Amino acid sequence: MQSLSANESNMYTRAYKTFIFLPPVFWVAVFLLLPYALMFAHSFWTVRDGVILHQWNVQNYVKLFQSPLYLDVLFRTMRIAGSVTLLSLLLGYPLAYYMSFQAGVRKEILYQLVIVPLWISYLVRGYAWKTILGSDGVLNGFLQYLHLTKEPVSFFLYSPFAVVLMLTHIYTPFVFLPLYASLEHIPRNLVEASHDLGAGTRATFLRVILPLSLPGLLAGATFAFLLTLGDFLAPLLVGGPSSIMIANIVQSLFGTAYDWPLGAAISVCILLLTISLLFLTEWLEKRWAFR
Amino acid sequence: MTPGNPSPSGPGDAVVLLEIRQVAKRFGVVEVLKGVSLQIAAGEFLTLLGESGSGKTTLLRLIAGFEQPTSGEIWMDGERLDTLPPYKRRVNTVFQSYALFPHLSVRDNVSYGLEVSGTPKAEIPGRLADALRMVKMEQFAAQRPPKLSGGQQQRVALARALVNRPKLLLLDEPLSALDANLRKQMQGELKSLQRELGITFLFVTHDQDEAMALSDRIALLKSGALEQVASPREIYAHPATSYTAQFIGQTNLLRTEVKNGTARWGSLQWSASRTDGAAIFSLRPEAIQWSAGDAIPAGAVRFRAAIRQQIFSGDSEQLELAFEGHLLRVRLHTPGLLSGEQEFWFSPLNAVAVRE
């Protein structure tokens, strides 16, 4: 009797589980696994005279690793992503620290001020930077008004500097949010305990607050780095030819250049890079999650 | 500090370690402490006892330095304490929820204070080992606090505070998170540790049994003001106010009229050397005796009362008597079921006059 009812409930849960899991499994299979499989397959094919030939080979990968063009762009992309990550952390951490520990009643309004830019379209923010940094833009106009410069400074716009600036502006909230959440989760009596044991503000920050905020810091840094890694609009809007990033190469290979196999090979490389970074951060997060 | 020589808020002849002078604390419009003055002797175990909201934790936090007094001063060992930041005070705290650093091992938690205060490197391992041995946590040195039980975390918190050799140890309801048995055991360990080390303990609790069991003196707080400061025996035998009498142990409050040296409570009367007018007497449940046909001492106040309820609690019988529309609590140490109307008596010496 007992075993029967156990069986019944098992069968019920199995049917129930299947029912519940079917839509997401379908979704992931059709919209994620299938495209990735296609992309993976393409990366081992070739294109000749505008026709994709289904001949398995690794020449795309050979081309990728032998041509300095692609590797240079990949390294530049990672440099830009690293800069954006570092700058977002340098901006986001003090802000999150101030809001969590010092701001008091101003916390709410500051939080809204950080969130509001996220509601504004990426493109609008991109064009805003164009109007700020351009030759006849706000910044140059201001500098000339102050007679600090005679001619418009041209390197503000269409440079890696502009890309880093714009992406830092866009991704700082993404760094701020997990950081702020992790700082808010630090029990305040730990800070009191540290002071009680003789540690000043600096020692308390270095020994208690910073280590306990590492999971949030890591999550924020991962956001900024990976989102920058896949960005192709910032170089188009404010970057110019000198700051082409890897996603722009992929875009042109899939578009005007019509070399889907090479584009797929680059995509696979970026994907592997992203996955290994995610694994690394997850491993670090587990090490630093002190529960 | 003998019962015959009550000291209102000073420790008697002993050396004063901590002196709280007219300390008040206000949070917005709420007055949490109303000019509290208290002296704590070196080596003393003093308990701040009170209900939640009585201001006991606030007073502790003022001494630790986590809050600033609105007015008043705190002095320790001839040094003004309340103007120093918490990390410059030779005071350490055992927090209610322990507040152990979750990212550090037991060893690093305990040596934290030594490291940040610049204790000579060579000295740290020895003191760390001593502290861990003292709380019997040597074998857990490499563990992280979240993996430990409540009692073990409690010991680590104690070691982490004591390793710094503070002049004063503050304990904020440190046992409240433990279950009853562990609590009793830790009470014993705390008391013997305090005797061994000779460090002054300022202990905060809302549990009057705990306060009675541990303290040299109890400071009872009521809505931000000190109600009474005395040894456990003194405060039990001679409560100053009706609040104290009710908070520490159980009691019967007899609201009497005194006239010409005689207190009248309903049909009962006894001689009381008080000025005429209303007077409240506290009569402990164990001060009321059942006659049982024995000889009643001369001068005793005798009365007959109906037994409304009887609860057996092992070593004693708890009775509720109905007497002239009043309820009287009685604790008898002679076992046996009583019923109906019985004769009881008490000695007027055990009826202690208290303030409102």
CB-CB under 8 Å, A207 with B91: no
Contacts of A190 in chain B (CB under 8 A): 99, 101-102
Do residue B44 and residue B110 come from a single domain?
yes
Distance CA A156, CA A164 (A): 11
Do residue B138 and residue B219 come from a single domain?
yes
- For the ranges A4-8, A23-27, A198-202, the lowest mean pLDDT is seen at A4-8
The string of pLDDT tens digits covering residues A222-264 is 999 999 999 989 998 888 888 889 999 999 999 888 889 999 9
Query: What number of C-beta contacts closer than 8 Å exist between A and B?
Result: 72
Of B85, B103, B116, the CB nearest to A197: B116
Whether A105 contacts chain B with CB within 8 A = no
Of B91, B99, B146, the CB nearest to A190: B99
Helices within B230-326 (DSSP H only):
232-237, 242-247
Q: Give the pLDDT score at A168.
A: 95
CB-CB under 8 Å, A192 with B99: yes
The 3-state DSSP composition of chain A as helix, strand, coil percent (nearest 5) reads 80, 0, 20
Contacts of B31 (CB under 8 A, 6+ apart): B24, B25, B224
Last residue of one domain, picked from the residues B214, B241, B268 = B241
Distance CA B278, CA B274 (A): 10
The string of pLDDT tens digits covering residues B270-306 is 988 888 899 999 999 999 999 877 778 888 899 999 9
Range B65-84 average pLDDT: 94
In chain A, whose CA is at the least distance from the CA of B99? Answer: A190
Q: Give the pLDDT score at A211.
A: 93
Q: What are the structural domains of chain A?
A: 68-288 (1.10.3720.10)
CB-CB under 8 Å, B85 with A200: yes
Distance of CA B159 to the CA centre of its chain: 23
Highest mean pLDDT among A5-9, A58-62, A78-82: A78-82
Whether A197 contacts chain B with CB within 8 A = yes
Q: Give the pLDDT score at B103.
A: 92
Of A187, A192, A199, the CB nearest to B66: A192
Do residue B186 and residue B85 come from a single domain?
yes
Distance CA B331, CA B308 (A): 14
In chain B, whose CA is at the least distance from the CA of A213? Answer: B103
Domain count of the fold of chain B: 2
Q: Is residue B41 one of the residues assigned to a domain? A: yes
Q: Give the pLDDT score at B7.
A: 44
Do residue B191 and residue B338 come from a single domain?
no
Structural domain boundaries, residue B294: 250-354
* Cβ-contact A157, A238 below 8 angstroms: yes
Contacts of B113 in chain A (CB under 8 A): 197-198
CA distance B12 to chain A (A): 30
Contacts of A26 (CB under 8 A, 6+ apart): none
Interior angle at CA B102, CA A215 and CA B179, nearest 5? 135
CB-CB under 8 Å, B66 with A195: yes
The neighbour count for residue B272, using CB atoms within 10 Å, is: 18
Q: Is residue B299 one of the residues assigned to a domain? A: yes
In chain A, whose CA is at the least distance from the CA of B118? Answer: A198
Last residue of one domain, picked from the residues B241, B267, B288 = B241
Provide the mean pLDDT of chain A: 88
Q: What percent of chain B has pLDDT over 90?
A: 71
Last residue of one domain, picked from the residues B241, B261, B280 = B241
Of B66, B103, B146, the CB nearest to A211: B103
Whether A152 contacts chain B with CB within 8 A = no
Q: Give the pLDDT score at A10.
A: 61
Interior angle at CA B164, CA B160 and CA B169, nearest 5? 75
The string of pLDDT tens digits covering residues B82-120 is 999 999 999 999 999 899 999 999 999 999 999 999 899
CA distance A225 to chain B (A): 26
Sign of CA dihedral A130, A132, A133, A138: positive
Do residue B97 and residue B193 come from a single domain?
yes
> Residue B245 — pLDDT band, cuts 50, 70, 90?
very high
Query: Exposed (0-12), middle (13-18) or buried (19+): which is B63, by Cβ within 10 Å?
Result: buried
Of A198, A200, A207, the CB nearest to B164: A198
